[in-house]
Every structure is written in C-alpha cells, then in structure tokens.
Amino acid sequence: MRRLAALLLLALLPACQDKPAPPAPAARYMLGQPYQLGGMWSYPKEDFAGTEAGLAVALPDRAPGRRTANGEIFDPGQLMAAHRTLQLPAIVSVTNLENGRELKVRVNDRGPQSPARLIGLSARAALLLGVPAGGAVQVRLTVETTPSRALAGQLPSTERTEIAVQSAPAGRVERESLAPLDGARQSTRVREAAVRGPAVTTVADVTPALPPNPLPEQLSQRPAEPGRLVLEAGSFFRRDLAQRQAARIAGLRARVEQRSSGRSALYRVVAGPYRSVAEVDAAFSGALAAGLPEARVVVE
C-alpha cells in the first residue's frame, strides 16, 4: 500500500506543478476601426502634432491587470490615459487649465466612456494633475511629436502594409581614362584647386529613441488659464449649411461663427458659453437628442 501511494504521488506531481506564467503582452501600434462608445461613433486617425482643449476625467479603473486597446497592461499607478481617436500609443502633454499643472501621459486605450469628455486619466495621473474623482476639469492636450512618431515607427503593428519594391537590375559600368588634350592640363589644376575646401560632414539619420515605459513623473507648473465652456456642433464651408445646422438646436441658442475669411472661410456652429460643467453637459445631451452626433464640448 505504501508503494502504491508513493507511485500515485509521483504521478500527480507534474499536474500539481505551477504552469509557467504567460508572456507579458508587448505594446503594439494601432489605430483600429471606427467604434461606438457611449452612444457616439468615433473614428481613429493619426495626429502627431494636434492640440485640443476640453474636459478630463479620472478613469474608473482602480486595479491593474486588464489589457488596453493596444494590448498593454493597464496600471492606475502609472501615467496612462484613454482617448477616443488618437493613435495608440501616443505621448501627450496634459495641462490642467484650472491650476496650471502639466504632465506627460501615455495614451494607450480607448475612451473615456462619455463622449462629452476629451480624455480619461489613470488614477495617478489624475491625482498629480488635480482631477477630482467623479469630477471634470478643463485641460489642454498637446501631442508630443517626436516620441509619438518613434512609437508609431518602431512598435510592431498588424495594420501596416509593407510594399515590396523590386529594384531594377544594375548593369556593369566600365570606364577608361583618356589622355588629356593639349592645353587641358592647366585648366584641370585650376578646377581641382577650386573644389578643395573644408570637408563636409554628413549627419546620418538617427532613429529617435522610444520614450520610457512607464513614463517618469515630471510635473510642471504653469499659470492657470481657465477658458469658456462651449458646445461645438459642426463646421462647414458654406454658411447656409451652418445656419441649417444651428436651426436644429435653436433651443440651445446656437449661432454661426466665421472662423476664417476669403476663399477658405469656415463656419462653425456653437452654443454657449456655459457657466458650469453641468450646463454644458445638458446642452450636449440636447444636441445628441436632436441628432447631431458630431457635437463636442470645447474649452476656449
């Protein structure tokens, strides 16, 4: 019986051993397809130098472990963020316009849930920037061009299409030195003297380094510059189309503003300004109810 028990124990040992942990998911670069979230469609696109101003909130995630949209591991203790349309990942400077604090975050997920919000911040990023839990603050986003392009160019991606270009065959080039003509020796020496000069140094293209992951906590302080909360309900190249759009939300006292002049005139439909986040949220809900899915909350 003892021998039988020992044999059974040996047979069960491999099954009891811990399985090796799965490999950590590697970051990948992506845009993704259009998607619907919070009742509104979003259309991802690349933007390596954009600036936006709107409302920021803290993401509800309080525990690490889930995967972000581009396959990374979300950690509320790191400087991470969610954006509805930016390429993933991207490095973005976020400035709290209400207190002047500025911080770089890594955008690696889709969101926030509410389409009236511009960006969702991890718990740590929200704490450093002064974004209260359950509240919203005015922020300005600026995409950091160099590190964002480095991520796009060096991270693996399933969306890139490599175009194979076959080079044309190069024939053999032969040359033969001929004796100079009479009287040409002096002119050759003159030309050689003219081209001699300081050596030209050619700087080879340098591949930009990938930004550190996780990002360091480098908080900057700038002057506070809160703006006005307005509702933007579309932009048009024709005034009559903008006026027709404004009429659909006449109850919000919408108006048409011309943002440029000449042949490139652009007419924007706006309503507001509003005194509080609650007021602009109510106007945003009214625009959605009127069938204007392009409406957005903007800080000016």
pLDDT digits (tens, 9 = 90+) for 139-156: 999 999 999 999 999 999
pLDDT of residue 206: 74
Q: Where in the chain is the domain with CATH 2.40.40.10?
A: 25-157+210-226
Mean pLDDT for 201-213 is: 75
Q: Can you say whether residue 253 is alpha, beta or left, with left for phi > 0 and alpha for psi between -120 and 50 degrees? A: left
Task: Note the pLDDT tens digit of each residue in 234-278.
Answer: 999 999 999 999 999 999 999 999 987 667 889 999 999 999 999
105-299-278 Cα angle (round to 5): 100
Looking at the whole model, is its pTM more than 0.95?
no
Residue type, 92: V
Q: Where in the chain is the domain with CATH 3.30.70.1070?
A: 228-300
pLDDT at 175 over 80: no
| Range with the poorest average pLDDT among 30-39, 49-58, 94-103, 159-168 | 159-168
Mean pLDDT for 274-285 is: 97
Give residues with Cβ within 8 angstroms of 177, minimum separation 6. none
Bridge partners, 82 (sequence order) = 109, 120
Q: Is residue 52 within 8 Å of residue 140, measured between CB atoms?
A: yes
Task: Give residue for tokens 């990002």.
Answer: 215
Which of 123, 155, 149, 126 minimizes the C-alpha distance to 139? 126
Average pLDDT over all residues of the chain: 85
Q: Percent of the chain having pLDDT more than 70? A: 76
Helical H runs in 58-129? Answer: 123-129
- Label residue 93 exposed, middle or buried (CB < 10 Å: 0-12, 13-18, 19+): middle
Task: Give residue for tokens 């009236």.
Answer: 116
CATH number of 228-300: 3.30.70.1070
What class has domain 25-157+210-226?
A: mainly beta
